[in-house]
Structure 1
Amino acid sequence: MPNRKGNPQNFDNPPSKELTENVTFRATKEMKEEIQKQDNPAQFCRDAVQKALDEKKGKQQ
């Protein structure tokens, strides 16, 4: 039976980190439409959030 939460190796995610958490946020209708146009909307969001976190972390050091 497949893992219903997905397998980390299928998401450009380091194998040691499982994708077990959900994040919900509000966005404009236009933002939502643009996200949904992406080939892989979930990975697009993960990449965007990680990029923002990395940039913020770099500015704090």
Structure 2
Amino acid sequence: MSKSKGKPENFDNPPSRDLTENVTFRATKEMKEEIQKQENPAQFCRDAIQEKLDRNKGKLDKI
């Protein structure tokens, strides 16, 4: 079984956008436990962060 690390096609990510960067942040124990319960924790975090970034960008566009 090959590792899927960094291959965009394995993460519903457009092929032109390589997953090369790491992000580390602190969370509560409860947050970590909930994230780990997800089917694909890493993709869940990427989706949540992207959703918030998109929402914040929309707020900035309205100013």
Residue 16 of structure 1: aligned partner? 16
Percent identical among aligned pairs is 75
Residue 55 of structure 1: aligned partner? 55
Q: Deviations over 1:13-54 (max 9, x none)?
A: 011000000000000000000000000000000000000000
TM-score scaled by length of structure 2: 0.88
- In the alignment, is the contact (CA less than 8 A) between 1:5 and 1:20 conserved in 2? no
**What is the DSSP-based 3-state SS (H/G/I as helix, E as strand, rest coil) of the residue aligned with 1:27?**
coil
Residue 43 of structure 1: aligned partner? 43
Higher relative contact order (CA 8 A, sep 6+): 1
**Count of aligned residue pairs for this structure pair:** 60
TM-score scaled by length of structure 1: 0.91
CA RMSD of aligned residues (A): 1.4
Q: Report the alpha carbon displacement of residue 7 of structure 1 after superposing the two structures with TM.
A: 1.1
Q: Report the Cα distance in structure 2 between the residues aligned to 1:25 and 1:49, rounded to whole angstroms.
A: 12
**Mind listing any 5+ residue stretches in structure 1 that lack a counterpart?**
none
